[in-house]
A and B are shown apart, each in its own frame.
Chain A
Amino acid sequence: MASSRAILIEYASGQYAAVAFAHMEESLDAPALIHVPLAPPNCDALLEWNGDWIPLFDLGIWCGSQEQDVKRFCVVVSYRQNCDTPRCYGSLRSVTFPRIVEVDDSAAAPLPDPLWNGFAKACFRDGDRVIPVLDLPALFETPCKQAVPVANSDISIKSLEENLV
């Protein structure tokens, strides 16, 4: 059975989401940020990276976590909206330094919460945790008003390997 590598991001204390290893560009410890007034609280800062300013997404706030976590780490990720569009960059806040895991299809699991419907491509089990695999274009290219839970969490779980490349 084929396996793939993923990066685990602790977006709130004890809560994790995953990104395909190939989509991680860099992890930064407490980088300089610029606050964007009146932007949605889950994405109200820009991070300077390689001479560009990229959005910094806080999944903890987006998920409604009440934890007052210190998220000093930022994980820079890249994605393409389509195969013929330029690569885009964004970043995600993390409580801890991101961890690499090996995942195979036997770990596939249903989404833990309907909140992730449309924002996760797949989901897997890591020990006793259920971890969604982020759909980065959906996360970074959806206005905040659309980023709300929907009732139907029926997501088609394709091969994990397919969703982690």
Chain B
Amino acid sequence: MAYPSQPETTPGYVAARLDDTTLLINLLAVPDIRNDADTVQNNGRKVLRRSGRYLEPVSLAGSMQSLANGRRTQILIVADKTGEFALYCDDIRVLPAAKLNIQPLRRCMSGPTSLFIGMAKIGETIAFLCNAEDLGTITRQFWEQEHGKLTSNPD
């Protein structure tokens, strides 16, 4: 059963692992996947250059709390209505939609602060589906609590 808020025409999903939590995001919301080696230093911070702007990757723990000392190497770039954000991940996979059986999470598991709306089994792992907007809201919140603005213009 496809979750109602997910476009049924999506070609696939990105599975991104943070510790022991695997996120599933619509592939159409992921414009790029990069690596820590692609970052450059800007005012002492690691940033990616994207379309003439700097984008700072954010580190989140698997509990979806802020992770002060990043140790991951893969970088997932996600686009939502606000713009782009970047998230450090342990590993990132792209899976065809036809290979996944996404089930909605029961309504009792949703609340004012919840992030995940569905789940799918990938091998022996359970991955949790989220909307790009909701993930973007949480990512920006944690980053801005610690650093201020998420993006800055190089000029």
Interface residues of A (CB under 8 A from B): 34, 36-40, 42-44, 46, 53-55, 57, 88, 90, 139-145, 147
CB nearest neighbor in A for B62 = A37
CB nearest neighbor in B for A44 = B109
**Neighbouring A residues of B21 by C-beta, 8 Å:** 37
**Neighbouring A residues of B105 by C-beta, 8 Å:** 36, 39, 55
Contact (Cβ within 8 A) A37 B107: no
The contact string, 1 if C-beta is below 8 Å from chain A, for chain B 92-111, is: 00000000000101111111
Contact (Cβ within 8 A) B126 A144: no
Contact (Cβ within 8 A) B114 A39: yes
Contact (Cβ within 8 A) A141 B62: no
Of all A-B residue pairs in the complex, the 3 with the closest CB atoms, nearest first, are A144-B111, A40-B111, A37-B64
Interface centre among A42, A90, A144 (most CB of B within 10 A): A144
Closest chain A CB from B1 CB (angstroms): 10
Instruction: Decide yes or no whether B82 CB sits under 8 A from chain A.
Output: no
Please measure, in the bound complex, the distance between the C-alpha atom of A145 and the C-alpha atom of B126, giving whole angstroms.
25
Kindly identify which residue among B108, B110, B114, B121 contacts A139, using a CB–CB cutoff of 8 Å.
Answer: B108
Interface residues of B (CB under 8 A from A): 21, 62-64, 103, 105-116, 119, 121, 126, 128, 138
Contact (Cβ within 8 A) B109 A37: no
Contact (Cβ within 8 A) A142 B111: no
Contact (Cβ within 8 A) A46 B108: no
Contact (Cβ within 8 A) B108 A36: no
**Neighbouring B residues of A39 by C-beta, 8 Å:** 105, 109-111, 114, 116
Contact (Cβ within 8 A) A40 B109: yes
CB nearest neighbor in A for B134 = A38
Contact (Cβ within 8 A) A37 B63: yes
Contact (Cβ within 8 A) A53 B119: yes
Kindly identify which residue among B62, B64, B108, B111 contacts A55, using a CB–CB cutoff of 8 Å.
Answer: B108
Interface centre among B64, B103, B109, B116 (most CB of A within 10 A): B109
Closest chain A CB from B137 CB (angstroms): 11
Contact (Cβ within 8 A) A144 B112: yes
Closest chain B CB from A130 CB (angstroms): 24
Contact (Cβ within 8 A) B126 A143: no
Please measure, in the bound complex, the distance between the C-alpha atom of A145 and the C-alpha atom of B109, giving whole angstroms.
10
Please measure, in the bound complex, the distance between the C-alpha atom of A44 and the C-alpha atom of B112, giving whole angstroms.
13
Closest chain A CB from B128 CB (angstroms): 7
